[in-house]
A and B are shown apart, each in its own frame.
Chain A
């Protein structure tokens, strides 16, 4: 198999990535503040899901198995009776295509883990804990279980907050009253501070911003995230000199 040789060359280039309980615990502890922030968004999702006609149990099941905030909120907007099955599943896939790029970025570390650990961990990928994990790994951590740990924190609070939102569904009418609409923005601002790698990031970041802003104006859904990410990536690829 070609991937076993890949793994060996990966092992030679960098110190071994470990996958331990302490890594899970560390990820969970450091992921909890972020997960609490995302929980504000989970409440909003729960409210919307209930208003769209899902039961509390159905909303909780969706959060527990899909675990993708943006896709869930967008498909809830499409929800109808009868459910437009293809539109909902197709939109989910397209909105989540950015996760393929995120998974690709995990490769230097995850190619050193067993397939079961690597492919089990990626289920718990969400924007926020993935970004947290990348910051951690790039600053030299060898904790391969950090994505799983921080993802478990995300999962617990995402499911709980969905239930809270769904139960409260008919009481909370406007999430903006409680500032819940701002929470996710705040989470991403905080995360971007951790990801800032110095002035060399300026070109890719400004490009990503410009392309995403333009994309958000011109395109439906969440395509601008994928386009902005790719544009920033491309700037770096073009100017790279080894």
Chain B
């Protein structure tokens, strides 16, 4: 293994390239939409985008998972709806996953 504090010039260059590529995507959407006028219809579409993207991340993840993760996700959902406390919801879900995995 390499030394902890080593910074190889090649690796640093690749990381800089990755960060530029990432920033272009992060700034790009805002930049383009600041230059074109958007209709109400498109505005409504952009409005549902956050939820649609989160569902697109989550959906396949859950389909790939099993009963333990489904149960724990349901617990996160219920705790979140009831309490609106993110940390409590996350910790409850984690507790369910760990205890179910210990049993199953």
**Given A185-B73, A190-B80: A104 and B32 interface contact (C-beta under 8 Å):** yes
A57 partner residues in chain B, CB cutoff 8 A: 4-7
In whole angstroms, how far apart are the Cα atoms of A101 and B33 in the complex?
10
**Given A179-B97, A192-B51, A237-B45: A58 and B12 interface contact (C-beta under 8 Å):** yes
In whole angstroms, how far apart are the Cα atoms of A36 and B89 in the complex?
12
Our pick among A54, A71, A102, A205 for the contact of B51 (Cβ within 8 Å) is A205
Count residues of B near A (Cβ-Cβ below 8 Å). Answer: 79
**Given A104-B29, A107-B34, A237-B45: A61 and B60 interface contact (C-beta under 8 Å):** no
Give the secondary structure class of B's interface: helix
B52 partner residues in chain A, CB cutoff 8 A: 204-205, 207-208, 228-233
B6 partner residues in chain A, CB cutoff 8 A: 55, 57-58
Contact residues of A between 204 and 242, Cβ < 8 Å to B: 204-205, 207-209, 211-213, 215-216, 224-237, 240, 242
Q: Which residue of A lies closest to B73 (CB)?
A: A189
Residue B103 at the A interface, CB < 8 A?
no
**Given A50-B1, A88-B18, A179-B98: A197 and B34 interface contact (C-beta under 8 Å):** no
Residue B104 at the A interface, CB < 8 A?
no
A234 partner residues in chain B, CB cutoff 8 A: 45
Cβ–Cβ contact B77 & A228, under 8 A: no
Cβ–Cβ contact B55 & A119, under 8 A: no
In whole angstroms, how far apart are the Cα atoms of A192 and B13 in the complex?
37
Residue A100 at the B interface, CB < 8 A?
yes
Smallest CB separation, B27 vs chain A (Å): 5
**Given A122-B26, A233-B46, A234-B45: A55 and B5 interface contact (C-beta under 8 Å):** yes
Which of B38, B49, B84 has the largest count of A CB atoms less than 10 A from its CB?
B49
Q: Which residue of A lies closest to B10 (CB)?
A: A83
Cβ–Cβ contact A212 & B60, under 8 A: yes
**Given A67-B22, A103-B26, A183-B90: A195 and B54 interface contact (C-beta under 8 Å):** yes
A75 partner residues in chain B, CB cutoff 8 A: 18
Smallest CB separation, A106 vs chain B (Å): 6
New contact pairs (11) apart from A119-B27, A119-B30, A131-B53, CB-CB < 8 Å: A57-B5, A85-B17, A90-B21, A97-B25, A182-B97, A195-B50, A201-B48, A211-B56, A216-B63, A229-B56, A235-B48
